[in-house]
Chain A
Amino acid sequence: MDATAPPLLPERFSRWFESRGWSPRAHQLELLETARTRHSVLLIAPTGAGKTLAGFLPSLVALSQRPRRKPGSAGARQGVHTLYISPLKALAVDIARNLEAPVAGIGLDIRIETRTGDTPAHKRQRQKQVPPDILLTTPEQIALLLSDAQGREILASVDTVILDELHALVTSKRGDLLALGLAALRRIAPSLRSIGLSATVAEPDDLRAWLVPQREGAPRALSDLVTVAGGAEPDITILDSDERLPWSGHSARHAVPDIYRIIARHRTSLVFVNTRSQAEMLFQALWHANEDNLPIALHHGSLDVGQRRKVEAAMASGALRAIVCTSSLDLGIDWGDVDLVINVGAPKGASRLAQRIGRANHRMDEPSRAILVPANRFEVLECKAALDASRAGKQDTPPLRKGALDVLAQHVLGCACAGPFDPLELFDEIRSAETYRDLSWERFEQVVDFVATGGYALRTYDRYARLKRQPDGRFRLSHPKVAQQYRLNVGTIVEAPMLKVRLVRSKSEGRRTPIGRGGRMLGEIEEWFVEQLALGDTFLFAGEILRFEGLRENEAYVSRARAEAPKIPSYQGGKFPLSTYLAAGVRAMLADPASWRELPDQVREWLEIQKLRSALPQPYGLLVETFPRADKHYLVCYPFEGRLAHQTLGMLLTRRLERIGAQPMGFVANDYALAVWGLADLDALIARGQLSLDQLFDEDMLGDDLDAWLAESSLMKRTFRTCAVIAGLIERRHPGQEKSGRQVTVSADLIYDVLRRHEPDHILLQATFADAATGLLDISRLGELLARIRGRIAHTPLARVSPLAVPVMLEIGKEPVFGEAQEALLAGAAGDLVKEAME
């Protein structure tokens, strides 16, 4: 292969490739080519394609060719040549390690360092004095460097920015922060070009536009694109269990023996689940089945960091046979020898599933193997839709988000921290970022005003302004302490308040003895979850059944429990709602009995009886069933738009039903359906003309009804708190501050109430609404649904519950019930319901 070695690659590089028995791949050479043209480029490649090396190769070559610098000379204070930015701290560290081999093997004199939240202060300071050639870091660190004149200095020399896992970065506010940082970098280092590394996405052009500066009035600018075809087709199957398929629930307990047998037959399996509590449950169940004592581990984001690192190290060294994990392992880190991915529960999205499956087998030419394990009947349909999508090569990554205003406020303050800024220049810079190109001057002025004085119509804070306008029109910080506040507050990740979980001796063993201090730390758990626990309650955490012993400051004390059945963390649903694409797939499948042939017998039978008893949901309409049960009346509908949109719909429907006197008592939602119940007979109301389903589901519910609900919605308040912290209106809670007591801090809820009443158009409320529309309330998707079903509501009055309604009806009692009457928990065992529907 030496004869064909391309001139793009210097000799010592090709020698290195040869020595490893490799030859440079086509896309690696293509990326080298773009270094000559100086074009920015997006590389889309499946895992295992040598994506990271391809990204770094141009920089390594360029650095190998620069003139040798003398130690101690002025040249030693060159700035950073290449920035590598990843969404995960761990990934930056991992990549640094992986780069050592080629750098040493080729014999390059290149300094590579990481800079993350864990980097000690003295090292960060030294990096500013003596910057490395390649700096591996995170979006937050870029923001911090940019907020400081010295930091900007070492970034002025940046030649290349490599953005890893770009598809994952751009979907969140961290992506917004990074987009703004990249725009600022481009102004400091005008010759900079960017290289995006991404998994396969639905709209590559979105990412290509994201990578390059946009110009006012000009057509959308795009980077170059290099695509690597997706190796061998993955080998995906759906587990066909002989066990009875559950009607609802997400634990997949029925399939545990099957999963265990599969694990035993493979070298190393990654077992993905959707939530922490599912991970805990499945891990526990697998250990019960673990007769051969196979090394099976647990990994999720709430576990103690030390524990997680141990599991990761064991995984990397091949000591584990299986690891049960959540999305904490979705991204990039190389695990070596995984030969099977088991996805338990709903895949939620086709691209999401493809990325998980990509974690199996990092050699491109062999097919990845994956088994999907549906946990209930609806999930069988969802798995089937995901499988079809995978075979057809379809992607359903979300569309590019619009840049958030709270993040913009944080960025504007950061810019001021680095030195006075000219508003017009900054405006142009910001609009060069694809996600902020539609930002209007008025909105930008509002944001600057918010940063300066809070942006209130009542201008009482001018004398306390954080930004002052200079005579030359530029804005500067009013006081250096503002920069300190900024640095403490930087970043877009606002965690739900967490409590540390500490293991202690049980109090029940000696009633009077106080709880011992200083036990082992197991990890962290959300405050809301602990709030639900009573002393003595048991729950699963860190793979053990624990007993809640009490609270001390910000720690939850727990002891080992011998309970057989723990009170399990309530299922909060996947963080990710069912993708629109898969939802359409499921609807199409339901409406087409011919496609049922490929479904398991139990599922087919279930749908056949539904067809007989009620009706099938149609792709573009909405099936609404009404039926009495016990002394209540139920309305069940099947929008398939994900749990969040259904919850919002449930809130609004109950408000409307309340108004027309239907006495609604509560509702419950899952990813597929929504059930509302109340005291009044809905069929009778319809017959008397007092209720029209078309009006009930009319789009106008997104007007006043939504507005009235938002005023009191706790989801909205939670969203507001996040925005307020990011925008710098209230301070983050830092560890160690917990003791200062709640009465001293200002609650975001109170601010929300006051702001809504006195300044409903405030920029932060705009930001909150924009978040809620796509986030916890999923209003945008609800809007699409209401538009789609207008005039297409198929009402089917029934005498009793239908087969399709059983899963959501079974959620009643397990899921928190919404609505005024919380006591309306449905009596009647699950068995009765099923019998009633199927006989």
Chain B
Amino acid sequence: MRPFLARNEARRFAPVCHDISIAGEIVGLHDSGAMWWPDEHTLVVADLHFEKGSSFARKGLMLPPYDTAATLEKLAEAIDAFQPTRVIALGDSFHDREGSDRLPVAYRAMLTTLQLGREWIWVTGNHDPIAPVGLCGETVDEVALGGLVFRHEPHGDSPLGEIAGHLHPAARIRRYGRSVRRPCFATDGTRLVLPAFGVFTGGLNVLDEAWGPYFPAREFSVFMLGEGRLYPFTATRLVAD
């Protein structure tokens, strides 16, 4: 395994964000899939799905056990780049209820190091409806800050802007007879759904029927994750899977 915290020398570039407004708050979308809220010095990530590999292994499918390390590494890079005073994990941070219990000691230590000196909020999700075992941070079902509310699953009408995860948005565009499918942010200006941050997490096409209740009739935009940048598209440009 590669050394995990020796990352400081990589901190050469200021993180580039795509700034958008959600219910009047300016937030930045990062190509890692994280959201940066500069006014609150808050970094938001969704659907980390720690210990997904071991969750499958319990069922007899021996997926590589490196997912937690890889996701942590990605998270460490984002924290290192933004130096947030607060981190919000938007639910499904662990792939199952026992996930935090199974977290190997080494990763527990890494996570604790990341949490040092900052406020940490675990929003509960459908995969992890309970507080993680033996980890710092506050566990909440949802949290409102400024003009925004943070919860795992987006729901109905809300007077505040809504930041959510759960759906693992992905989008596909077609050009020159070939198509590209990527995870993406999806937003209609009052609601923002973050892509899944965990490395073993697939995506659900934003044109799938399951999206109907949240973004009807293609009146929304996506920001597809690219190398060092995001690619914005209106939903009308997208194709289904």
Contacts and interface: CB of A to CB of B under 8 A. Distances in A.
Interface of A: 450, 453-456, 458, 460-461, 464, 466, 479, 481-482, 485, 531-532, 534, 551, 570, 728-731, 741-747, 750-751, 753-755, 757-759, 762, 816-817, 822-823, 825
Contact of B60 (A485, A759, A817): A485
B165 to A, nearest CB: 11
Going nearest first, the 8 A-B pairs with the smallest beta carbon separation are: A454-B62, A758-B66, A743-B168, A743-B204, A464-B57, A461-B57, A822-B176, A747-B202
A753 B205 CA distance: 21
Contact of B61 (A551, A729, A825): A729
B63 A816 contact: no
Given A551-B240, A757-B70, A822-B176, A454 B202 contact: no
Task: Report which residue of B65, B172, B179, B200 has the largest number of chain A beta carbons within 10 angstroms of its beta carbon.
Answer: B65
B62 A531 contact: no
Interface of B: 1-2, 52, 54, 56-58, 60-67, 69-70, 104, 167-168, 170, 172, 174-179, 196, 199-205, 208, 210, 239-241
A759 B199 CA distance: 16
Contacts of A731: 61
B188 to A, nearest CB: 20
Contact of A532 (B1, B56, B70, B174): B174
A485 to B, nearest CB: 6
Contacts of A741: 204, 208, 210
Contacts of B64: 454, 456, 751, 754-755, 758-759, 762
Nearest to A456: B65
A339 to B, nearest CB: 42
Nearest to B176: A822
B60 A458 contact: no
Contacts of A755: 64, 66
Contacts, number: 115
A757 B199 CA distance: 12
A570 B177 CA distance: 10
Task: Report which residue of A481, A482, A534, A746 has the largest number of chain B beta carbons within 10 angstroms of its beta carbon.
Answer: A746
7 contacts: A453-B57, A458-B66, A482-B60, A742-B202, A750-B199, A754-B67, A755-B64
Contacts of A822: 175-176, 178
Given A460-B54, A460-B104, A531-B241, A743 B201 contact: yes
B70 A758 contact: yes
Given A464-B60, A743-B168, A534 B54 contact: no
A481 B66 contact: no
Contacts of A482: 60
Given A750-B200, A759-B64, 9 more contacts: A454-B62, A456-B65, A464-B58, A532-B174, A532-B178, A743-B202, A743-B203, A751-B64, A757-B70
Contacts of B200: 746, 750-751, 754
A506 B19 CA distance: 44
B178 A816 contact: yes
A458 B63 contact: no
A746 B63 contact: yes
A755 B1 CA distance: 11
Contact of B65 (A454, A466, A743, A817): A454
A482 B59 CA distance: 9
Contacts of B241: 531, 551, 742
Contacts of A729: 61-63
A740 to B, nearest CB: 11
Contacts of B201: 743, 750
Contacts of A745: 202
A134 B208 CA distance: 51
Contacts of B204: 741-743
A89 to B, nearest CB: 29
B115 to A, nearest CB: 22
B222 to A, nearest CB: 16
A758 B1 contact: yes
A501 to B, nearest CB: 16
B206 to A, nearest CB: 12
Contacts of A742: 170, 202-205, 241
A826 B172 CA distance: 26
A103 to B, nearest CB: 45
A816 B61 contact: no
Contacts of B66: 456, 458, 754-755, 757-759
Contacts of A458: 1, 65-66
Nearest to B104: A460
B186 to A, nearest CB: 13
Given A454-B65, A458-B1, A743-B204, A816 B177 contact: yes
A755 B67 CA distance: 9
A461 B62 contact: yes
Contacts of B176: 817, 822-823, 825
Given A751-B64, A758-B64, A758-B66, A743 B178 contact: no
Contacts of A454: 57, 62-65
Nearest to A528: B179
Contacts of B240: 551
A741 B168 CA distance: 11
Given A454-B57, A458-B66, A466-B60, A750 B177 contact: no
Contacts of B203: 742-743
B57 A751 contact: no
Contacts of A485: 60-61
Contacts of B179: 531-532
Contacts of B170: 742
Contact of A730 (B1, B61, B196): B61
A731 B61 CA distance: 8
Contacts of A746: 52, 56, 63, 200, 202
Contacts of B60: 464, 466, 479, 481-482, 485
A82 to B, nearest CB: 36
Contacts of A762: 64
Contacts of B168: 743
Contacts of A750: 199-202
